[in-house]
Amino acid sequence: MRKYLSLIILIVICLFSCSSNKTQLTTEAKLKNADELYAKGKYSRAAVIYEEISFERKSAATAYATMKVADCYYNMHKFSEARLRYEQFISSFPDHEKVADAYFRIGECFFEESLPPHYDQTETIKCIEAFKTFIDRYPSDPRYGEAIDYIQKCQYKLLEKDYLTGYLYYKMKDYSSALMYFDEIIELGNINDLELKSLYYSAKLHLHQKNYEKAKANYDKLLSRYPNSKEAEKLKRKFEKSVL
């Protein structure tokens, strides 16, 4: 009996010793482990360790670990979680040298979260706002041009949304509503596929409504900007049959 009791005590001591050794890992050792996992692309496991360090709140590595948690989520394509962590980083360490990176990544997260133009564009709008905040705060940052590119891509997507809404009204034969969306795109004066299509349908609808002056104005603009387009050829045939 005493032999079994001694064995049990020995096992308990060993377990306690192993547990104690684990808790005695230094922050530097934890970081080394997490960084190695991160470098190997094992982001989920790395995030757990970074998270543990970020909660310590007593180490110079806390800010670094907090940012790396966000980076782990970003690399796992968990953009909503990553964005929240970048926001947490900015709130906790507003003067840190990596704050600009966090602002930029927030914009990228919104961009990745944004839906195709057929759907709700809340994230697209927030992406524009995020990158405008970035360029306002860091106008000399080398990523300034990249931020502008993101903004322009989002703005184009919003125009796509407007065009698709106008086209939907066109198919529903709600021509007044359709013209409102098409004409808004035309007024911007952007030379692109959305303007071409908007000019085409706007001219076609104005012609249908016998509003010949507006129909001719949009036809002429389309012809001057996109003379070799199939839309120009289609409208040409329609206008040849009209009184104009």
Q: In angstroms, rounded to a whole number, what is the distance separating the alpha carbons of residues 75 and 42?
A: 10
pLDDT digits (tens, 9 = 90+) for 188-204: 988 999 999 999 999 99
Specify if 5 maps to a domain: no
pLDDT digits (tens, 9 = 90+) for 8-29: 444 444 444 544 444 567 888 9
Specify if 114 maps to a domain: no
Two tokens at 195? Answer: 């303007």
Q: In angstroms, rounded to a whole number, what is the distance separating the alpha carbons of residues 194 and 153?
A: 13
> Residue 56 phi/psi, 5° resolution?
-65, -40
Q: What is the pLDDT of residue 243?
A: 55
Specify if 210 maps to a domain: yes
Q: In angstroms, rounded to a whole number, what is the distance separating the alpha carbons of residues 52 and 65?
A: 9
Report how many domains make up the chain: 1
Q: What is the pLDDT of residue 7?
A: 42
Two tokens at 106? Answer: 């927030």
CB 226 within 8 A of CB 195: no
Question: Which of helix, strand or coil describes residue 144?
Answer: helix
Residue written as token pair 């808790």: 23
pLDDT digits (tens, 9 = 90+) for 35-90: 999 999 999 999 999 999 988 766 678 999 999 999 999 999 999 999 999 999 99
pTM (two decimals): 0.83
CB 88 within 8 A of CB 98: no
Q: What is the pLDDT of residue 21?
A: 45
- Chain center to CA of 67: 19
List the one residue out of 57, 157, 165 whose CA is nearest residue 115: 157
Of the given ranges (59-63, 77-81, 112-116, 238-242), which has the lowest mean pLDDT? Answer: 238-242
CB 206 within 8 A of CB 239: no
Specify if 125 maps to a domain: no
Which residues constitute the domain of residue 201?
173-244
Question: Which of helix, strand or coil describes residue 128?
Answer: helix
Q: In angstroms, rounded to a whole number, what is the distance separating the alpha carbons of residues 140 and 136?
A: 10
Specify if 235 maps to a domain: yes
Two tokens at 21? Answer: 């050794």
Specify if 68 maps to a domain: no
Specify if 92 maps to a domain: no
Specify if 87 maps to a domain: no
